Amino acid sequence: MFSNINKPLIMGILNVTPDSFSDGGKFSGLNEAIQQVALMLSEGVDIIDIGGESTRPGSDSVAAGEQIRRVVPVIEAIRQQLNSDVVISIDTTLSEVAKAALDAGANIINDVSGGRNDAAILTLAAQTGVPIILMHSQGVSKTMQDNPHYDDVVQEVLDALDECVNRALKAGIKKEAIAIDPGIGFGKRKQDNIDLLAHLDKLVATGFPVLLGASRKRFMGTICDVTEPSELVTATAVTTALGVMAGVQMFRVHDVKENRQAADVAWAIKQSR
């Protein structure tokens, strides 16, 4: 999939969790989740990213069995009730959850640990041939924002992602099945996030497709002087437009319609260069 992206893709977030930072509990019921997927489909989403574990700062880990209980019925319902061939990614760091999701109809693994939490997830991706997204994070969700530090955040993130990619390649994953994510907000200070957004072109220069997940992140709230994540829709769309111009190919967002428009307009402008 990653080798033939010819326009920016919008990945819609579906957190089937009680405690996600922006929409925790809103879509934990099956009917609510399916209604949200139907809405995102009508707004032009390309990928549905389903997660059964919150990775917000301070969150606790969720056992594989509970994640599976949350995500598998939703994936099955999308395939059966909506009769949709939309691409589905499973947002997990655990190979057991990823396998159950793939068996239920998911197409992509989205691992916020970059394959570091459970090395078997890399083996699974290699054996099944499914694409995998490797994200950078510093520390674990519970403590990652306690005291993050970088001397050169852009280079350090690039180096860490290079290590993740090399582990994936050694596990047998094909290069064209790998995408990378700088992990905006994951173990990073406000200025770290801004620096990464200012140098997205360096991530794009690696040759791997880049996923940007800046949606409603807290650091933008400090810039805009707002506290509610839902008030950061416009701010998120700005990062999407900037990302398109820098060459980013995928955008993980809560608000599909607004970011679809931002991506499409930015893409039209970029194509005219």
Bridge partners (DSSP) listed for residue 15: 51
Q: How far apart are CA 81 and CA 247, in angstroms?
A: 35
Q: What is the spatial distance between Cα 89 and Cα 102, in angstroms, rounded to a whole number?
A: 9
Looking at 99, 188, 217, 260, which residue is catalytic?
217
Q: Tell which residue, 234, 210, 201, has the closest CA to residue 220.
A: 234
| Nearest alpha carbon to residue 66 among 132, 121, 17 | 17
Q: What residue ranges in 182-271 does DSSP mark as E strands? A: 211-212, 250-253
C-alpha 113: how far from chain center = 11
Indicate if 252 belongs to the active site.
yes
Is the CB of residue 161 less than 8 Å from the CB of residue 112? no
Q: Phi then psi for 238, rounded to 5 degrees? A: -65, -45
Q: In what order do the strands lie in the sheet with 9-15?
A: 178-181, 132-135, 108-111, 87-91, 47-51, 9-15, 250-253, 211-212
Q: Determine contact, residues 270/240, Cβ cutoff 8 Å.
A: no
Contact 25, 19 (CB under 8 A): yes
Active-site position among 56, 216, 252, 260? 252
Q: Is 217 known to be catalytic? A: yes
DSSP secondary structure code for residue 229 in this structure: G
User: Token match 């794009």: residue?
Assistant: 204
Tell me which amino acid residue 172 is. Answer: G
Catalytic residue numbers read 217, 252
